[in-house]
Amino acid sequence: MKDYQEVAKGWIEGNFDPETKCKVIELRNSDPVAFEDAFYRNLEFGTGGLRGIMGVGTNRMNKYTVGMATQGLANYIKAHVDGPQSVCISYDSRNNSKLFAKISAEVLSNNGIHVYLFDNIRPTPELSYSIRSKGATAGIMITASHNPKEYNGYKVFWSDGGQITAPVDKDIVAEVGKISDPSEVRFEEGDEIGGIELMGKEMDEMYLRDILSLTLTPEAVAKHPDIKIVYTPLHGCGVRLVPEALHRLGFKNVIHVPDQDISDGDFPTVVSPNPEEPAAMKMALDKADETGADIVMATDPDADRLGIAVRNDEGKMVQLNGNQTASMLTYYILTRWKELGKLDSTKYCVKTIVTTELIAAICESFGVKCYNVLTGFKYIAEVVKSHEKDGEFICGGEESYGFNVGQFVRDKCAQVSCAMVAECAAWAAEQGLTLYQLLQKIYREYGLYLEKMVYIVRKGKTGAEEIAQIMTDYRTTPPVEIAGRKVVKVIDYLEPEKTGLPKSNVLQFFNEDGDVVSVRPSGTEPKIKFYFGAHGSDAPEKIELLKKQFVG
């Protein structure tokens, strides 16, 4: 790429609006390091879309980078899709999400593509659902999921309702890469007008109706409607539908955290709106102690991820991680499917390679196939798509707090997950158990599985180089032992001919006890992630050994 100062000069002198030009000059004069980072490269349109810090520059989320991405998507659709062409668009509560959604809608419409645009913030899973409902060609979700407030993003979905995968993803990436200047983007109305149609309450009703049709034990809910549930959307769009779903299911004590019901892209009550972070759930946990609640639920800004906390035997609230929640829900759902006579050889579950092996053990005990896929819910959706004619997806999850049930939505869905957690609590109560006690019962049956994810943050250009070097070092000199036991297997997912999965920058190390360490750079954040998994009565000690060995 050209020298970043030359690129920035093009923004100052080129066909950009006056406000943008002023901000470029201000950034150049006030923060040289941020100025370089904003222009040293183009913000990568990856196989899932865009995600980055908001601001001026080629390496930032702004109306020009969003417009260029949308023009590339429009060019792909027009070149490869025959017949009617339409795109569904939704957005969350982040700063500029509504603006980026509006720009995307206008660019598509100006290219002659019909747009279905939500009239207000809506969850990512409802966007997935709407694509299938409308028979749309594609979908766009403006969100940076659980990232800090400085970020926004642009996720692209395809006609099946799942995020784009090969070969469509790489072909769209190539089309976006051909757009080299904002002058190539149809920001203004042209001869072809596709029209923009708003979606709202009618789609909400259809979505809620279908996901609530997946419930399995309404009789248990009817007997335990007073289970106390604290729910927080963490300033995101879950507030629109999660409480309503729980009420319609039959739960009467849904307790709000009023300050966090406010949809606000500054996320004023949390450092990061991520239910994986204990600090993000503090206000909800305080509310639970204040009200004597049984369960805490927290969803991220686009309401696709769910974090929960439950009371232990001493009455203290403890947070479950994504592996524990997914394992518990899988156990509950498979138990009920078996009791209802719904299991046969065509039914299956899916998990990702860095998600607990407990899910695979549970599936095996029920005689249910469990597919293992790369990290990212789009790969779970890809399995569902490939088995539409010869199988039925029961449920699937990933360690990063994503879970889904049924085939209405082709992404992780916090709305249906909240409903299933609450229903599972009622089912457990029928057996005289709390959710915490149900989890202990599962461990007694299958053995103790413990997992821990630890990440290292390395920001900016030098950080990206450091993360790349860490992966190179592990490939050239892999560890000979982990947790004090000999490494017996190394899997490099850059070698698809050996894994049978698409190429991915992930390494896994297995020792002779079956403990595992997975290492992968984040595709959406300046992080390298380490996933530790241990099985057996000494799992807690082994997790600590793995943490010390890999991250110090």
Query: In a 10 Å sphere around its CB, with 0-12 CB exposed, 13-18 middle and 19+ buried, how is residue 423 labelled?
Result: buried
Q: Which amino acid is at 61?
A: M
Other beta carbons within 10 angstroms of residue 437's beta carbon come to 16
Span between the terminal Cα atoms of the chain, in Å: 37
> Are 411 and 404 contacting, i.e. CB atoms less than 8 angstroms apart?
yes
Q: What does DSSP assign to residue 163?
A: B
d(CA 19, CA 17): 6
Q: How many angstroms separate the Cα of 188 from the Cα of each of 66, 106, 113, 519?
A: 15, 8, 14, 45
> Are 259 and 287 contacting, i.e. CB atoms less than 8 angstroms apart?
no
What strand order describes the sheet that includes 527-535? 449-457, 527-535, 516-521, 507-511, 485-492, 481-482
Q: β-pairing, 114-118 with 86-91? A: parallel
Q: β-pairing, 481-482 with 449-457? A: unpaired
Q: Which of 86, 109, 145, 327 is catalytic?
A: 145
b vs e for 270-293, b when ≥16 Cβ sit within 10 Å of the residue's Cβ?
bebbbbbbeebbebbbebbeeeeb
Name which of 174, 144, 179 is nearest 50 in CA terms.
144
> Are 201 and 209 contacting, i.e. CB atoms less than 8 angstroms apart?
no
Q: Is 133 a catalytic residue?
A: no
CA geometry: angle at 137 spanning 172 and 400, to 5°?
A: 70
- Hey, what are 214's tokens? 């997946």
With a CB cutoff of 8 Å and minimum separation 6, the contacts of 290 are: none
- Hey, what are 401's tokens? 């707090």
Question: Annotated catalytic sites, by residue?
Answer: 145
